[in-house]
């Protein structure tokens, strides 16, 4: 589980840095919010989840751990696509708002499930 999270995180880092370089080169910082969320929810949070698995959760591939991985990734992808469309002015805010709301709750659920994984691991 740790390597899956790290690989996913590094993919977001490459994507987010490419967008950061594009913003800097074009002198158009319109995608700052998209870039910041790719880097923080995509890269930093995925990487930290990978470290949690490596350091404390014994790298379990339980059903809950697998579900938590996909829940975080699906939520993060939803936020990235939603923010890209919104800040690139490709879509109306009221159209993309439900996607962003649902994706935010999905990422939040992933964080709650990481807490559950920790509590479970402390019981054994
Ligand atoms: C290739 C590397 C990177 C480049 C070229 C880059 C570029 C940029 C640019 C041009 C901005 C907009 C600044 C502004 O308009 O005020 C920005 C903002 C931001 N970047 Fe990056 N960035 C890079 C790496 C990172 C990394 C590694 C992180 C975090 C893990 C990060 C997090 C952020 C955040 C949170 C903001 C928003 C800052 C604010 O609200 O003022 N960036 N970046």
Domain chopping of the chain, boundaries: 2-123
Does the beta carbon of 39 lie inside 6 Å of ligand 1? yes
Q: pLDDT grade, residue 123 (50/70/90)?
A: confident
Spacing, Cα 36 to ligand 1 middle (Å): 6
Angle (CA) 19-81-90 rounded to 5° is 85
Residues 6+ apart with CB under 8 A from 100: 78, 79, 82, 83, 86
Judged by average pLDDT, the poorest of 43-47, 55-59, 101-105 is: 55-59
The pLDDT of residue 60 is 87
Query: ∠ CA 2-8-12 to the nearest 5 degrees?
Result: 140
Residue 26: CB atoms within 10 Å: 10
Whether the CB of 29 sits within 6 Å of ligand 1: yes
Query: What is the chain's mean pLDDT, rounded?
Result: 97
Indicate the Cα dihedral angle 107, 48, 23, 77, nearest 10°. -30
CA 82 / ligand 1 centre spacing (Å): 18
pLDDT over 90, % of the chain: 95
Across residues 57-74, what is the average pLDDT? Answer: 96
- pTM, two decimal places: 0.93
To test the pocket of ligand 1, the residue of 10, 11, 33, 35 to mutate (highest count of ligand atoms within 8 Å of its CB) is 35
């Amino acid at each position: 589980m740790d390597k899956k999270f790290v690989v996913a995180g590094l993919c977001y880092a490459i994507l987010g840095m490419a967008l950061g370089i594009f913003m800097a080169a074009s002198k158009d910082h319109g995608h700052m919010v998209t870039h910041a969320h790719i880097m923080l929810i995509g890269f930093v949070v995925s990487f930290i989840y990978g470290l949690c698995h490596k350091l404390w959760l014994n790298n379990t591939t339980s059903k809950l751990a697998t579900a938590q991985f996909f829940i975080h990734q699906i939520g993060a992808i939803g936020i990235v696509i939603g923010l890209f469309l919104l800040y690139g002015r490709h879509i109306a805010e009221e159209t993309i708002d439900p996607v962003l709301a649902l994706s935010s709750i999905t990422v939040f659920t992933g964080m709650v499930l990481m807490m559950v994984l920790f509590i479970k691991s402390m019981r054994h």
